[in-house]
Amino acid sequence: MAIGSLRVASTARPTSLRVRLRTALDRERALGPLLVTPALVLLVLLVAYPFGMALYFSLSDSFIGRPSHFIGLRNFVNLWDSDAFRQTFQNAFVFTGLSVACKLVLGIWLALLLNEQLWLKRLIRGAVLLPWVIPTALSVLGWWWMFNSLYSVVNWTGIHLGLLDPPGPNWLGQKYYAMAAVVVVNIWRGLPFFAITILAGLVSIPRDLYEAAETDGAGPVRRFWYVTLPLLSPVLAIVVLFSTIFTFSDFNIVYVLTRGGPINSTHLFATLARQVGLETGRIGEGAAISLYLFPVLVLVVFAQLRFVRKRAY
């Protein structure tokens, strides 16, 4: 009789624990923090901690192999005495403005095209994603080969089409051509993100609105301007926001193609920060360069999110 009672007690304990655990997990107060904790840990380790270290370094005179001292905002002020930084500041806005504007226009056009009834539509949509899926370093190496001054496929094609005079420009060795090359590669790589996201917005627009506009006599241009574009504006704002942040902080394309040259004409904040902080050992200046546009990007994010919220309500 005693052995039987022990068996009943031993089986009752796991059951009661299981019931208690299930009851606790059914409560939103317990389950919510449990599910959020892994994401919070990743954000702290991969975002908050590196950002805090970069902020600390930017406010000090950190140099590899030396003890650092707090110097306040001196790194941020002294950067304007550098010709390379002033050129990089200009390059960042030119590079981002041209790239985002072209990706926006071409992305809307490509999304409208993919929204039509086409042969092999799924295959075409998959092919459009290839520039976004392929690893950046590998795809940019292919572009480096195409822009190479000795065996440039771009120059060969332009010469045979009568668009360029032989032997063609040195795309990666001349100031304006190098900037054009990195902008083209960035557009090629970022265009699928625009096209697929805008296409998702187009699919969600009710067809009844187009039929009503067509009944009222609106042509394709008016339907696009008064129906498609207003309903796509929240999607466009989010896409432009993310693309602006990604383009400002771009590193791989410029580093693989030009390393910031010729004569700092294609340096961006990420590439210049690496050169100053890692190659020359001036960690404090490199961190200040990488954080220089953080307040500007915060204002851009705030303005665009506020615009999206107004459009939503």
Q: Which two tokens stand for residue 105?
A: 């226009």
Q: How far apart are CA 157 and CA 164, in angstroms?
A: 9
Tell me the pLDDT of the chain averaged across its residues: 84
Domain topology for 81-312: MetI-like fold (1.10.3720)
Per-residue pLDDT at 313: 59
Q: pLDDT band at 312, cuts 50/70/90?
A: low
Q: What pLDDT, on the 0 to 100 scale, is given for residue 254?
A: 92
Closest to 104 (Cα-Cα) out of 207, 220, 229: 229
Helix crossing, 83-114 with 121-128: angle to 10°? 170
Q: Is the pLDDT of residue 268 over 50?
A: yes
Q: State the Cα–Cα distance between residues 249 and 244, nearest whole angstrom.
A: 9
Give the model confidence (pLDDT) of 277-288 as tens digits.
Answer: 888 888 889 899
pLDDT at residue 267 is higher than 80: yes
User: 9 pLDDT band (50/70/90 cuts)?
Assistant: very low
Angle between helix axes 28-43 and 2-25 (nearest 10 degrees) is: 70
Contact 248, 238 (CB under 8 A): no
184: pLDDT strictly greater than 60: yes
One-letter amino acid of 216 = D
Contact 284, 61 (CB under 8 A): yes
Q: What's the pLDDT at 12? A: 47
Q: Are 237 and 307 in contact (CB under 8 A)?
A: yes
186 to 10, 64, 95, 183: CA distances (angstroms): 65, 33, 9, 5
104 confidence band (pLDDT: 50, 70, 90): very high
Confidence category of residue 230, pLDDT binned at 50, 70, 90: confident
Comparing 46 with 66, which gets the higher pLDDT? 46
Instruction: Give residue 311's pLDDT.
Output: 64
Q: What is the 3-state secondary structure (H, E, C) of the chain?
A: CHHHHHHHHHHHHHHHHHHHHHHHHCCHHHHHHHHHHHHHHHHHHHHHHHHHHHHHHHCECCCCCCCCCECCCHHHHHHHHCHHHHHHHHHHHHHHHHHHHHHHHHHHHHHHHHCCCCCCHHHHHHHHCHHHHCCHHHHHHHHHHHHCCCCCHHHHHHHHCCCCCCCCCCCCCCHHHHHHHHHHHHHHHHHHHHHHHHHHHHHCCCHHHHHHHHHCCCCHHHHHHHHHHHHHHHHHHHHHHHHHHHHHCCCHHHHHHCCCCCCCCCCCHHHHHHHHHHHCCCHHHHHHHHCCCHHHHHHHHHHHHHHHHHHHC
Per-residue confidence band for 14, with pLDDT thresholds at 50, 70 and 90: low
Q: Domain ranges in the chain?
A: 2-49, 81-312
What are the pLDDT digits (tens) for 126-172? 788 888 888 888 889 889 988 987 778 888 888 888 888 888 888 88
Q: How far is CA 138 from CA 88, 132, 133, in A?
A: 25, 12, 11
More confident residue, 85 or 6: 85
